Structure 1
Amino acid sequence: MAAREHSGSGDLSRSMALLWGIDERGKRGPKPGISVDRIVFTAIRIADAEGLEAVSMRKIAGCLGVGTMSLYRHVPGKAELLDLMLDGVGSIEQKDVEHFKSQPTWREGMRELAHSFWEHYLAHPWLLHVDQGRPVLGPNGLDSFELALSVFDGLLLTDQEKVGFITSLDSTAAGLARVHVNAKQAEARTGITDQEFWEAQSPALESAMKSGRYPRIAKLADDSFSALDEETFKFAMDRMLDGLEALIDHRRETGWTPPPAGARVFDEECREGETV
């Protein structure tokens, strides 16, 4: 696994200026045809194909046919470039917006939202190794967030719950996509096939299963670990949606109304069953 990178680790004011088009530097004297967008999307293509560790100003310059130093007229360094890349992969096409809006029910819209998270990580697996604990918010990222929030229109949920559920779906997608991607990349990374990997462990594991120490594991069906991929994600997603639907139905039946802005609904609902 590549060394973990962090969003927002560079000059934050420069990243924000570049993301929102309020930066004037880089417009005087650069070679025609080179722009921040071209640099960013070239970097994304490299990362998608070879991993984030393969991205360098020298390699980007080579792909664009320019000198490395000319890139610094537009982007100050790799830390700021990463912020731009993270926003760049979040761009939404109009067809995707219309697809979301065309879903007949909120649940179908939520399934599409969750599936888009899954597909996003598979298309850009390097994202799985970036720490975005402090996200740098650009226009594409906010467009995506706005679209995600639209799925919740009219539902009996607080704003805090909407954001929490989006975060939960995204985190579940990221975690399972990481397992899926790592498994796919293991053979290329180690030169050992899956069959060779498990055959090497087989004698010890067979002995362990016969020992009686692990009766539940020993009874597992042969295909128990064969679905650690999109099917597992779909299962987890549907169970999360079941829970959300049950909450919404309960609130509708009981005439629940949203608390005042700023109220901590999680704390209030947890206290409902408490006695004084």
Structure 2
Amino acid sequence: MAKDRSGAGDPVRTLELLWREPGEESRGGRRGPRQGLTVDAVVRAATGLADEEGLAALTMRALAQRLGVTPMTVYTYVPGKAELLDLMLDEAYRTMERRTVPAEAEARADPWRERVTRVAEENRALLARHPWIADLSVTRPPLGPGVIGKYEHELAAFEGIGFSDTEMDAALTHLLGFVHAAARAAADTAAHNQRQSDEDWWAVSAPLLERAMDPERYPLAGRVGEAVGAYNPETVWAFGLRCVLDGLAHLVERKPEAL
């Protein structure tokens, strides 16, 4: 099954929808066939469906049922699922909770590690609210106001550190890659725990492993595994973020102009 990705639709129509003026409710700016239904309402309904059931459940037919219209009616507002996904992603980015990075004069007194940590935590909260984003390939993100506003906000956390413009972009990409990986692992863990808790799994598996695992052959796996126990997303998050920040700090400290 092909992976859902952004930027897969008609780029011209997508940009028209992303940057539409207020009141442009349907194709060509005409009022849609159902009074009260708008592009925004379609996007909100699609987002709610994806939040609750995942991207696999998001079809134009399922969306039409949620809206109480026919699938053909939905197509008068968005050309297809590809364009809809871009609108959903841009809207999620536009409305995500974020703390304003201080002005340049104040940013120098605001440690860069704290600014970058805020960006990581904001994106972690976003993915917890909209888990489907982690399943969406965004190598070609929609260039709408939400995506560009998010990019502007997050780059400000790296401004003045001492990185070049291309390094700032790469550092942000590296950070967000870690956040997405951590969010996906946490979501997978939560899904598994819904089907069977860690306690129940270990209750069944531990006796078998104790008989099967030779401690002399697997000394490290046994020792570390016993110390760790069940997968803990919070522990992995804290350690991983520290590794990302320490790696960036190493690069910053090597630059004579670093702040």
* TM-score interval for Structure 1 and Structure 2 normalised by the shorter chain: 0.7 to 0.9
Matched, 1:53 2:56: yes
Distance 1:195 1:226, change over 3 A: closer
| Cross-structure match for 2:29 | 27
Question: 1:210 is aligned with what amino acid?
Answer: D
Stretch of structure 1 that moved more, 41-50 or 63-72 = 63-72
CA contact (8 A) 1:92 1:143 kept: no
Q: Distance in 1 between matches of 2:95 and 2:129?
A: 14
Calculate the aligned-residue CA RMSD, in Å. Answer: 2.6
1:246 matched to 2:245:
no
Match of 1:201 in 2: 205
Is contact 1:6-1:131 (8 Å) kept? yes
**Deviation readout 1:97-147 (Å, 9 max, x if unpaired):** 43x338732211111011112111111111222122222221101100000
Corresponding residue number in structure 2 for 1:120:
126
For residue 109 of structure 1, the aligned residue among 109, 115, 121 is 115
Amino acid at match of 1:6: R
Tell me which residue corresponds to 1:96.
Answer: 98
* Cα distance in 2 between the residues matched to 1:246 and 1:195: 40
Q: Which residue of 1 aligns with 2:9?
A: 10
Indicate how the Cα distance of structure 1 residues 201 and 168 shifts in structure 2: closer, same or farther if over 3 A, else same. Answer: same
Partner of 2:179 in structure 1? 173
The verdict on how the C-alpha distance between 1:109 and 1:207 changes in structure 2, with shifts beyond 3 A counting, is same
* TM norm structure 1: 0.80
- One-letter code of the match for 1:20? W
Q: Which runs of 5+ in 2 are unaligned?
A: none
Alignment match of 2:241 (pick from 214, 237, 252): 237
Among candidates 172, 175, 190, match of residue 184 of structure 1: 190
Task: Name the count of aligned residue pairs.
Answer: 249
Match of 1:63 among 61, 66, 87: 66
Partner of 1:82: 85
Deviation of 1:157 (Å): 0.6
Contact 2:98/2:122, CA 8 A, preserved across alignment:
no
Q: Which amino acid aligns with 2:57?
A: A
Preserved CA contact (<8 Å) 1:208 1:214: no
Identity %: 33
The runs of 5 or more residues in structure 1 that have no matched partner are 257-276
